[in-house]
Amino acid sequence: MTIAEPFHIIAHRGASAYAPENTMAAFRLAAEMGIREIETDVGYTRDGAIILFHDKTLDRTTDGTGSPGDYTLAELKELDAGSWGHHPIPEGSHEPPVSWSGDYAGEKLITLQELLDAFGDQFVYHIEIKRPAPGLVADVLEALRERDLLGSVYMNTINDLESLLEVRQQEPSVKTAWSPVNLLLGDGDHRDVVQQAADHGISMFVFNSTTLDPALVTLANELGMETRCSGIKNREQMIEAVEAGCNGMTINWPDWLLEYVKDENK
Over residues 182-193, mean pLDDT = 90
The answer on pLDDT for 140 being more than 90 is yes
205 confidence band (pLDDT: 50, 70, 90): very high
State pLDDT tens for residues 21-30: 999 999 999 9
Over residues 174-191, mean pLDDT = 92
State pLDDT tens for residues 213-238: 999 999 999 999 999 999 998 999 99
Dist CA 200 CA 2 (whole Å): 31
- Backbone φ and ψ of 55, nearest 5°: -75, 165
Domains and CATH numbers, the chain: 8-264 (3.20.20.190)
DSSP characters for 219-256?
A: HHHHTT-EEEEE---SHHHHHHHHHTT-SEEEES-HHH
State pLDDT tens for residues 91-113: 555 555 565 656 899 999 999 99
pLDDT for 96 equals: 58
pTM of the full predicted structure? 0.94
